[in-house]
Structure 1
Amino acid sequence: MDELDNVLAAVGPRLRALRISRDATLSALSTVTGISVSTLSRLESGQRRPNLELLLPLAKAHQVPLDELVGAPTTGDPRPIINKGMTIVPLTRRPGGVQAYKLVLNAGSPEEPTPQVHEGYEWIYVLNGKLRLVLGDQDIVLPTGEAAEFDTRIPHWFGRADARPVEFISLFGRQGERMHVRAKPAPAEQGRGSGFAGSCRGAGQATPR
Protein backbone atom coordinates (compact mmCIF):
# COMPACT_ATOMS: atom_id res chain seq x y z
CA MET A 1 0.00 0.00 0.00
CA ASP A 2 1.57 3.31 -1.06
CA GLU A 3 1.39 6.66 0.70
CA LEU A 4 -1.80 7.76 -1.09
CA ASP A 5 -3.55 4.52 -0.18
CA ASN A 6 -2.50 5.00 3.45
CA VAL A 7 -4.04 8.48 3.51
CA LEU A 8 -7.27 7.35 1.86
CA ALA A 9 -7.58 4.37 4.20
CA ALA A 10 -7.58 6.76 7.17
CA VAL A 11 -10.47 8.84 5.79
CA GLY A 12 -13.25 6.41 6.73
CA PRO A 13 -12.46 6.22 10.47
CA ARG A 14 -12.06 10.00 10.60
CA LEU A 15 -15.43 10.56 8.90
CA ARG A 16 -17.14 8.32 11.42
CA ALA A 17 -15.32 9.97 14.34
CA LEU A 18 -16.41 13.41 13.11
CA ARG A 19 -20.02 12.31 12.73
CA ILE A 20 -20.10 10.71 16.18
CA SER A 21 -18.54 13.78 17.79
CA ARG A 22 -21.39 15.85 16.36
CA ASP A 23 -24.13 13.40 17.39
CA ALA A 24 -25.20 13.13 13.75
CA THR A 25 -26.87 10.12 12.14
CA LEU A 26 -26.13 8.87 8.65
CA SER A 27 -29.64 9.89 7.62
CA ALA A 28 -29.17 13.46 8.84
CA LEU A 29 -25.79 13.73 7.12
CA SER A 30 -27.33 12.36 3.92
CA THR A 31 -29.99 15.07 4.00
CA VAL A 32 -27.39 17.83 4.40
CA THR A 33 -24.90 16.58 1.81
CA GLY A 34 -27.15 14.89 -0.75
CA ILE A 35 -25.00 11.76 -0.49
CA SER A 36 -26.95 8.53 -0.04
CA VAL A 37 -26.89 6.72 3.32
CA SER A 38 -25.44 3.61 1.67
CA THR A 39 -22.58 5.63 0.15
CA LEU A 40 -21.83 7.34 3.47
CA SER A 41 -21.82 3.97 5.23
CA ARG A 42 -19.45 2.50 2.64
CA LEU A 43 -17.15 5.54 2.96
CA GLU A 44 -16.94 5.13 6.73
CA SER A 45 -16.30 1.39 6.49
CA GLY A 46 -13.64 1.78 3.79
CA GLN A 47 -15.66 -0.02 1.12
CA ARG A 48 -15.95 3.14 -0.99
CA ARG A 49 -12.86 5.05 -2.11
CA PRO A 50 -13.18 8.75 -1.18
CA ASN A 51 -12.95 11.42 -3.86
CA LEU A 52 -13.32 15.21 -4.00
CA GLU A 53 -16.94 14.98 -5.18
CA LEU A 54 -17.79 13.23 -1.90
CA LEU A 55 -15.31 14.86 0.48
CA LEU A 56 -16.09 18.49 -0.37
CA PRO A 57 -19.76 18.39 0.77
CA LEU A 58 -18.74 16.34 3.81
CA ALA A 59 -16.08 18.87 4.81
CA LYS A 60 -18.68 21.64 4.43
CA ALA A 61 -21.28 19.73 6.46
CA HIS A 62 -18.80 19.06 9.28
CA GLN A 63 -17.45 22.64 9.03
CA VAL A 64 -13.83 21.49 8.80
CA PRO A 65 -11.18 22.16 6.14
CA LEU A 66 -10.69 19.43 3.56
CA ASP A 67 -7.23 18.59 4.89
CA GLU A 68 -8.86 17.76 8.22
CA LEU A 69 -10.40 14.77 6.45
CA VAL A 70 -7.36 13.63 4.49
CA GLY A 71 -4.42 15.18 6.33
CA ALA A 72 -3.84 12.50 8.97
CA PRO A 73 -0.17 11.47 9.18
CA THR A 74 0.79 8.30 7.34
CA THR A 75 2.53 6.85 10.41
CA GLY A 76 1.61 6.89 14.07
CA ASP A 77 -1.82 7.74 15.47
CA PRO A 78 -4.15 9.92 13.37
CA ARG A 79 -4.86 13.39 14.70
CA PRO A 80 -7.69 13.38 17.26
CA ILE A 81 -11.13 14.82 16.65
CA ILE A 82 -12.20 17.25 19.41
CA ASN A 83 -15.78 18.46 19.69
CA LYS A 84 -18.35 19.15 22.41
CA GLY A 85 -16.06 18.07 25.22
CA MET A 86 -15.23 14.75 23.53
CA THR A 87 -11.91 13.65 22.03
CA ILE A 88 -11.95 10.76 19.55
CA VAL A 89 -8.70 9.17 18.37
CA PRO A 90 -9.00 6.61 15.54
CA LEU A 91 -6.58 3.77 16.35
CA THR A 92 -6.98 1.68 13.19
CA ARG A 93 -6.05 2.63 9.65
CA ARG A 94 -7.11 -0.38 7.60
CA PRO A 95 -10.34 -0.11 5.58
CA GLY A 96 -13.31 -2.26 6.56
CA GLY A 97 -13.66 -4.72 9.41
CA VAL A 98 -13.67 -3.81 13.09
CA GLN A 99 -12.43 -0.26 13.76
CA ALA A 100 -10.85 0.81 17.06
CA TYR A 101 -11.14 4.22 18.73
CA LYS A 102 -10.05 5.78 22.00
CA LEU A 103 -12.61 8.25 23.36
CA VAL A 104 -12.14 10.76 26.17
CA LEU A 105 -15.09 12.61 27.71
CA ASN A 106 -13.79 15.70 29.48
CA ALA A 107 -14.95 16.63 32.96
CA GLY A 108 -18.32 18.36 33.07
CA SER A 109 -21.93 18.00 34.08
CA PRO A 110 -23.61 14.73 33.03
CA GLU A 111 -25.81 15.13 29.95
CA GLU A 112 -29.30 13.93 29.18
CA PRO A 113 -29.29 10.72 27.10
CA THR A 114 -30.20 10.99 23.41
CA PRO A 115 -30.25 7.35 22.23
CA GLN A 116 -29.61 6.58 18.55
CA VAL A 117 -29.69 3.48 16.37
CA HIS A 118 -27.57 2.44 13.38
CA GLU A 119 -26.16 -0.66 11.75
CA GLY A 120 -23.25 -2.38 13.45
CA TYR A 121 -21.95 -4.03 16.61
CA GLU A 122 -19.91 -2.30 19.31
CA TRP A 123 -17.65 -3.36 22.17
CA ILE A 124 -16.46 -0.83 24.75
CA TYR A 125 -13.96 -1.07 27.61
CA VAL A 126 -13.57 1.63 30.28
CA LEU A 127 -9.97 2.67 30.91
CA ASN A 128 -10.64 5.34 33.53
CA GLY A 129 -13.69 6.87 35.21
CA LYS A 130 -17.33 5.80 35.11
CA LEU A 131 -19.24 5.54 31.85
CA ARG A 132 -23.04 5.69 31.78
CA LEU A 133 -24.57 3.44 29.12
CA VAL A 134 -28.22 3.59 28.13
CA LEU A 135 -29.08 0.50 26.10
CA GLY A 136 -32.72 -0.09 25.27
CA ASP A 137 -34.53 -0.09 28.61
CA GLN A 138 -31.28 -0.56 30.57
CA ASP A 139 -29.55 2.38 32.28
CA ILE A 140 -26.25 1.19 33.73
CA VAL A 141 -22.83 2.42 34.88
CA LEU A 142 -19.57 0.84 33.72
CA PRO A 143 -16.72 1.60 36.16
CA THR A 144 -13.03 1.36 35.31
CA GLY A 145 -12.09 -2.08 34.03
CA GLU A 146 -15.55 -3.16 32.89
CA ALA A 147 -16.77 -3.72 29.35
CA ALA A 148 -19.98 -4.10 27.38
CA GLU A 149 -20.91 -5.28 23.91
CA PHE A 150 -24.14 -4.65 22.05
CA ASP A 151 -25.93 -4.55 18.72
CA THR A 152 -26.10 -0.87 17.69
CA ARG A 153 -29.54 -1.40 16.19
CA ILE A 154 -30.72 -1.24 19.81
CA PRO A 155 -31.27 2.40 20.90
CA HIS A 156 -28.10 3.34 22.78
CA TRP A 157 -26.22 6.30 24.26
CA PHE A 158 -23.15 6.73 26.46
CA GLY A 159 -21.79 9.63 28.51
CA ARG A 160 -20.25 10.57 31.85
CA ALA A 161 -21.85 8.96 34.90
CA ASP A 162 -20.64 11.87 37.03
CA ALA A 163 -18.73 15.14 36.60
CA ARG A 164 -15.33 13.45 36.27
CA PRO A 165 -13.67 12.61 32.92
CA VAL A 166 -14.00 9.18 31.33
CA GLU A 167 -11.62 7.33 28.99
CA PHE A 168 -12.66 4.23 27.08
CA ILE A 169 -11.88 2.10 24.06
CA SER A 170 -14.49 1.38 21.39
CA LEU A 171 -14.28 -1.47 18.87
CA PHE A 172 -16.94 -1.02 16.20
CA GLY A 173 -17.99 -3.26 13.32
CA ARG A 174 -20.05 -1.35 10.77
CA GLN A 175 -21.38 -4.55 9.18
CA GLY A 176 -22.01 -6.25 12.52
CA GLU A 177 -18.52 -7.79 12.76
CA ARG A 178 -17.56 -8.99 16.23
CA MET A 179 -14.24 -9.68 17.91
CA HIS A 180 -12.92 -13.22 17.59
CA VAL A 181 -11.81 -14.44 21.02
CA ARG A 182 -9.23 -17.23 20.67
CA ALA A 183 -8.67 -17.86 24.39
CA LYS A 184 -11.14 -17.76 27.27
CA PRO A 185 -10.76 -18.56 31.00
CA ALA A 186 -12.14 -21.84 32.26
CA PRO A 187 -15.69 -21.59 33.77
CA ALA A 188 -14.35 -21.92 37.32
CA GLU A 189 -11.92 -19.04 36.73
CA GLN A 190 -14.48 -16.62 35.35
CA GLY A 191 -16.06 -16.07 38.73
CA ARG A 192 -12.83 -15.28 40.59
CA GLY A 193 -10.63 -13.66 37.95
CA SER A 194 -10.46 -10.04 36.93
CA GLY A 195 -13.72 -8.20 36.33
CA PHE A 196 -12.82 -7.95 32.67
CA ALA A 197 -13.66 -11.55 31.72
CA GLY A 198 -17.08 -11.56 33.29
CA SER A 199 -18.15 -8.08 32.26
CA CYS A 200 -17.22 -8.40 28.59
CA ARG A 201 -20.20 -10.67 27.96
CA GLY A 202 -22.67 -7.82 27.79
CA ALA A 203 -23.96 -4.58 29.21
CA GLY A 204 -26.16 -6.47 31.66
CA GLN A 205 -23.06 -7.34 33.67
CA ALA A 206 -22.48 -3.71 34.57
CA THR A 207 -23.73 -1.80 37.59
CA PRO A 208 -27.39 -0.65 37.32
CA ARG A 209 -28.08 2.98 38.08
Structure 2
Amino acid sequence: MKQDELGTEDLIRQRLRSLRVSRGLSLDALGARCHLTPSTISRIETGHRRLAFDQLVPLARALGTSIDALVEPAGDDDVVIRPEPQHAAGLTTWLLSPERALPGITVAKMRIGTDRPREPAERRVHPGREWFLVLSGTVRLELGDRVLLVRAGEAASFSTMVPHAVLAHEGTVEVLSIFDVDGERTHLHEG
Protein backbone atom coordinates (compact mmCIF):
# COMPACT_ATOMS: atom_id res chain seq x y z
CA MET A 1 0.00 0.00 0.00
CA LYS A 2 1.32 3.43 -0.92
CA GLN A 3 1.77 6.08 1.77
CA ASP A 4 -0.93 8.32 0.30
CA GLU A 5 -3.44 5.46 0.64
CA LEU A 6 -2.70 5.07 4.35
CA GLY A 7 -4.69 6.82 7.05
CA THR A 8 -2.82 9.25 9.31
CA GLU A 9 -2.55 6.80 12.21
CA ASP A 10 -1.39 3.99 9.94
CA LEU A 11 1.18 6.31 8.40
CA ILE A 12 2.52 7.26 11.85
CA ARG A 13 2.71 3.58 12.83
CA GLN A 14 4.59 2.77 9.62
CA ARG A 15 7.01 5.62 10.22
CA LEU A 16 7.65 4.54 13.80
CA ARG A 17 8.44 0.98 12.74
CA SER A 18 10.54 2.08 9.76
CA LEU A 19 12.60 4.44 11.91
CA ARG A 20 13.12 1.77 14.56
CA VAL A 21 14.24 -0.82 12.01
CA SER A 22 16.42 1.61 10.03
CA ARG A 23 18.23 2.56 13.24
CA GLY A 24 18.81 -1.11 14.04
CA LEU A 25 16.81 -0.99 17.26
CA SER A 26 14.97 -3.99 18.63
CA LEU A 27 11.70 -3.49 20.49
CA ASP A 28 13.64 -4.05 23.74
CA ALA A 29 16.31 -1.46 22.87
CA LEU A 30 13.74 1.16 21.86
CA GLY A 31 11.68 0.40 24.96
CA ALA A 32 14.72 1.00 27.17
CA ARG A 33 15.33 4.35 25.48
CA CYS A 34 11.79 5.66 25.81
CA HIS A 35 10.63 3.85 28.98
CA LEU A 36 7.85 1.88 27.26
CA THR A 37 7.54 -1.88 27.30
CA PRO A 38 8.49 -3.75 24.13
CA SER A 39 4.95 -5.17 23.95
CA THR A 40 3.45 -1.65 24.10
CA ILE A 41 5.69 -0.53 21.23
CA SER A 42 4.79 -3.65 19.23
CA ARG A 43 1.06 -3.05 19.75
CA ILE A 44 1.46 0.62 18.73
CA GLU A 45 3.32 -0.39 15.56
CA THR A 46 0.79 -3.07 14.60
CA GLY A 47 -2.32 -1.02 15.37
CA HIS A 48 -3.43 -3.09 18.36
CA ARG A 49 -3.06 -0.07 20.63
CA ARG A 50 -4.27 3.44 19.97
CA LEU A 51 -1.75 6.20 19.45
CA ALA A 52 -1.38 8.56 22.38
CA PHE A 53 0.54 11.83 22.40
CA ASP A 54 2.20 10.98 25.72
CA GLN A 55 3.71 7.91 24.02
CA LEU A 56 4.62 9.60 20.74
CA VAL A 57 6.79 12.22 22.43
CA PRO A 58 9.24 9.76 24.04
CA LEU A 59 9.15 7.51 20.95
CA ALA A 60 10.03 10.41 18.65
CA ARG A 61 12.79 11.56 20.99
CA ALA A 62 14.24 8.03 21.26
CA LEU A 63 14.16 7.65 17.48
CA GLY A 64 15.88 11.01 16.92
CA THR A 65 12.98 12.67 15.15
CA SER A 66 10.20 15.12 15.93
CA ILE A 67 6.46 14.80 16.35
CA ASP A 68 6.09 17.03 13.27
CA ALA A 69 8.08 14.57 11.15
CA LEU A 70 5.96 11.67 12.39
CA VAL A 71 2.61 13.31 11.66
CA GLU A 72 3.34 15.34 8.49
CA PRO A 73 1.04 14.53 5.57
CA ALA A 74 2.21 12.09 2.93
CA GLY A 75 0.98 14.13 -0.05
CA ASP A 76 3.29 15.35 -2.78
CA ASP A 77 2.61 19.09 -2.40
CA ASP A 78 5.64 19.50 -0.14
CA VAL A 79 7.86 17.49 -2.51
CA VAL A 80 6.93 18.36 -6.09
CA ILE A 81 7.48 21.98 -7.09
CA ARG A 82 5.33 23.28 -9.92
CA PRO A 83 6.81 26.69 -10.71
CA GLU A 84 4.93 29.35 -12.62
CA PRO A 85 7.05 31.43 -14.99
CA GLN A 86 7.44 35.13 -14.24
CA HIS A 87 8.10 37.22 -17.35
CA ALA A 88 9.95 40.50 -17.71
CA ALA A 89 11.54 42.02 -20.80
CA GLY A 90 14.04 39.43 -22.01
CA LEU A 91 13.94 37.45 -18.76
CA THR A 92 11.80 34.54 -17.60
CA THR A 93 12.22 33.22 -14.06
CA TRP A 94 10.91 30.07 -12.37
CA LEU A 95 11.27 29.95 -8.57
CA LEU A 96 12.26 26.40 -7.67
CA SER A 97 12.60 26.65 -3.91
CA PRO A 98 9.52 26.24 -1.76
CA GLU A 99 8.68 28.87 0.82
CA ARG A 100 9.83 26.50 3.55
CA ALA A 101 13.25 25.95 1.95
CA LEU A 102 16.53 26.65 3.67
CA PRO A 103 16.30 30.11 5.24
CA GLY A 104 17.92 32.77 3.12
CA ILE A 105 18.42 30.55 0.05
CA THR A 106 16.45 30.87 -3.20
CA VAL A 107 16.86 28.56 -6.18
CA ALA A 108 15.65 29.79 -9.56
CA LYS A 109 15.82 28.75 -13.19
CA MET A 110 16.31 31.77 -15.42
CA ARG A 111 16.04 32.17 -19.18
CA ILE A 112 17.90 35.26 -20.33
CA GLY A 113 17.39 36.49 -23.87
CA THR A 114 19.66 38.69 -25.93
CA ASP A 115 16.69 41.08 -26.14
CA ARG A 116 16.91 41.86 -22.43
CA PRO A 117 17.25 45.62 -22.12
CA ARG A 118 20.50 46.69 -20.56
CA GLU A 119 21.17 49.87 -18.68
CA PRO A 120 24.76 51.10 -18.29
CA ALA A 121 24.34 50.90 -14.51
CA GLU A 122 23.10 47.29 -14.63
CA ARG A 123 26.17 45.91 -12.90
CA ARG A 124 25.02 45.28 -9.37
CA VAL A 125 26.84 45.20 -6.05
CA HIS A 126 25.35 43.71 -2.89
CA PRO A 127 26.53 41.63 0.07
CA GLY A 128 26.87 37.87 -0.31
CA ARG A 129 27.72 35.29 -2.97
CA GLU A 130 25.98 33.97 -6.05
CA TRP A 131 26.23 30.68 -7.86
CA PHE A 132 24.83 29.55 -11.18
CA LEU A 133 25.04 26.56 -13.51
CA VAL A 134 24.59 27.12 -17.23
CA LEU A 135 21.98 24.69 -18.53
CA SER A 136 22.09 25.83 -22.16
CA GLY A 137 23.75 28.57 -24.17
CA THR A 138 26.65 30.73 -23.03
CA VAL A 139 26.58 33.32 -20.25
CA ARG A 140 28.54 36.55 -20.49
CA LEU A 141 29.55 37.17 -16.88
CA GLU A 142 30.80 40.69 -16.37
CA LEU A 143 32.65 40.65 -13.09
CA GLY A 144 34.49 43.81 -12.21
CA ASP A 145 36.88 44.52 -15.10
CA ARG A 146 36.71 40.94 -16.35
CA VAL A 147 34.41 39.38 -18.92
CA LEU A 148 34.05 35.61 -18.62
CA LEU A 149 32.19 33.27 -20.95
CA VAL A 150 30.55 30.45 -19.02
CA ARG A 151 29.28 27.65 -21.27
CA ALA A 152 26.64 24.94 -20.86
CA GLY A 153 27.66 22.50 -18.14
CA GLU A 154 29.93 25.02 -16.44
CA ALA A 155 29.19 26.86 -13.20
CA ALA A 156 30.31 30.13 -11.67
CA SER A 157 30.49 31.29 -8.07
CA PHE A 158 31.52 34.78 -7.08
CA SER A 159 31.38 37.49 -4.44
CA THR A 160 28.57 39.88 -5.16
CA MET A 161 30.54 42.75 -3.69
CA VAL A 162 32.23 42.86 -7.10
CA PRO A 163 30.10 44.76 -9.66
CA HIS A 164 28.52 42.04 -11.79
CA ALA A 165 26.06 41.33 -14.57
CA VAL A 166 24.88 37.97 -15.94
CA LEU A 167 23.94 38.31 -19.61
CA ALA A 168 23.14 36.12 -22.61
CA HIS A 169 25.99 35.78 -25.08
CA GLU A 170 25.06 35.23 -28.74
CA GLY A 171 21.66 33.66 -28.04
CA THR A 172 19.26 32.76 -25.27
CA VAL A 173 20.79 31.18 -22.18
CA GLU A 174 19.24 29.17 -19.34
CA VAL A 175 20.81 29.02 -15.90
CA LEU A 176 20.07 27.45 -12.56
CA SER A 177 20.87 30.05 -9.89
CA ILE A 178 21.21 29.98 -6.14
CA PHE A 179 20.81 33.34 -4.43
CA ASP A 180 21.19 34.42 -0.84
CA VAL A 181 18.68 36.93 0.59
CA ASP A 182 20.47 39.95 -0.89
CA GLY A 183 20.85 38.32 -4.31
CA GLU A 184 17.17 37.38 -4.40
CA ARG A 185 16.13 40.91 -3.49
CA THR A 186 18.46 42.45 -6.06
CA HIS A 187 17.99 40.11 -9.01
CA LEU A 188 14.49 38.65 -8.61
CA HIS A 189 12.60 41.61 -7.18
CA GLU A 190 13.91 44.38 -9.41
CA GLY A 191 12.05 47.65 -9.58
Q: TM-score range by the shorter chain?
A: 0.3 to 0.5
Per the normalisation by structure 2, the TM-score is 0.48
Q: Higher relative contact order at CA 8 Å, sep ≥6: structure 1 or structure 2?
A: 1
